[in-house]
Amino acid sequence: MNHLAVLTSGGDSPGMNACIRAVVRTAGLNNIRVSGVYRGYQGLIEDDIIEVNRDHVRNTIHRGGTWLKTARSDEFRTPEGRQKAIANLRARGIDALVVIGGDGSFRGATALSAEMEDLPVIGCPGTIDNDLFGTDLTIGYDTAVNTAVEAVDRIRDTAASHNRLFFVEVMGRDAGFIALRTGIAAGAEAVLIPETTTYIDELVQKLETDWKERRRSGIIVVAEGDDGGGAIEVARKVQERFPQWETKVTVLGHIQRGGRPSAQDRILASRMGHGAVLGLLQGQSRVMVGVQSGQVVYVPFEQATKHHQAINPYLLELVEALG
Ligand code: ADP
């Protein structure tokens, strides 16, 4: 391996910059040239690529987002689009690729490597959703949970002062990890997630008990992909059945995606970026770098993207017991 390329793809997540930095510096230490690809796969198709060295990544470890920028590319989903990318990789003499992104980005990497078999490809899981199998944590998840918890803490002040019941929607179309962790850390009364069926009756029953016991404010955390229909819909259903409560809805939205990465995310991203280059040097390909029980591991893309890890039932019980 003489010349690797690194790109960030799909949704941005805090810690991607720390991961790029680790890739660039580890490659430099091993005398490998590095090219940075702007705007993910779209930049690969358009040859929007620059050579980078260790100085390009100075003063980036603490910044959210990704300085290489990211994009979604419909063209890359087509064989013709990928052929353009392959021609650019060959013309530049790039002989390995590091993809920092989520499950979609890894599907793209799998498609690319099937059509350019001599190109080793390795992935670092950059997504706030934590929805990849084979790693305990993804880059950006910890920061996103901390951001959501801080927001819920603020909302709780208003909920308590005004005797209101707040439904707070957090990100997670398919996975309830952000909602569950946020709910536990922010002391939510209940957490609604896509992995479990939401029974409005049960929720109303719980709220009735609270009301009888003179509790007049509360926080319900709802994952955006919850089967109950998201926070606005759940709040509407509850309000219909239970008009005594004054309900309010806050959708946190994109404030959860950006921001300074937490120390944990910077460390995780540094380990994964470093692990990606070491993995390539060991001959790994078509794998994602993961961390399991504190150890760096390599997980085949097909496994990582097939499904996400299961929700820990103990954490669900914890919300119920303490909420
Ligand atoms: P994420 O990586 O955050 O899950 P996306 O699902 O948007 O984000 O995927 C990022 C990009 O990866 C897409 O815009 C597309 O270019 C590429 N991609 C995703 N799935 C495939 C696929 N099956 N084949 C080829 N490219 C894909």
Q: Which residue, judged by its Cα, is nearest atom 17 of ligand 1?
A: 108
Q: What's the pLDDT at 211? A: 85
Q: What residue spans define the domains of the chain?
A: 3-140+261-306, 142-257
Fold topology of 3-140+261-306:
Rossmann fold (3.40.50)
Q: Which residue, judged by its Cα, is nearest atom 8 of ligand 1?
A: 10
User: 112 burial class (0-12, 13-18, 19+ CB within 10 angstroms)?
Assistant: buried
Ligand 1 centroid distance, CA of 38 (Å): 15
- How many CA atoms does the CB half-sphere of 66 hold within 13 Å? 29
pLDDT at 193 over 90: yes
Q: What's the pLDDT at 207? A: 87
Question: CB neighbours of 258 closer than 8 A, spacing ≥ 6?
Answer: 12, 14, 64, 65
Ligand 1 centroid distance, CA of 204 (Å): 40
Instruction: Kindly state the tokens that stand for 183.
Output: 């709910």
Backbone φ, ψ for residue 55 (5° rounding): -70, -25
pLDDT at 3 over 90: yes
Ligand 1 centroid distance, CA of 106 (Å): 7
d(CA 149, CA 153): 6
- Tell me the three state secondary structure of residue 190: strand
Tell me the CA distances in angstroms from 67 to 38, 219, 244, one per residue in order. Answer: 8, 36, 49
> What's the pTM?
0.96
With cut-offs at 50, 70 and 90, classify the pLDDT of residue 210. Answer: confident
Ligand 1 binding pocket mutation candidate from 39, 41, 107 (most atoms within 8 A of CB): 107
Instruction: Kindly state the tokens that stand for 94.
Output: 């790039």
Q: Would you name the residues annotated as active-site residues?
A: 129
d(CA 109, CA 120): 10
Same topology between domain 3-140+261-306 and domain 142-257: yes
Q: What's the pLDDT at 88? A: 98
Who has greater pLDDT, 216 or 237? 237
E strand spans, 142-227: 164-170, 190-192, 218-223
| Ligand 1 pocket by Cβ (under 6 Å) | 9-11, 41, 72-73, 76-77, 101-105, 107-108, 111, 127
Quick one: the chain helix, strand, coil %, rounded to 5? 45, 20, 35
d(CA 168, CA 158): 13
Atom number in ligand 1 closest to CA 127: 3
Is domain 142-257 classified as CATH 3.40.50.460?
yes
Ligand 1 centroid distance, CA of 180 (Å): 26
Q: What's the pLDDT at 310? A: 86
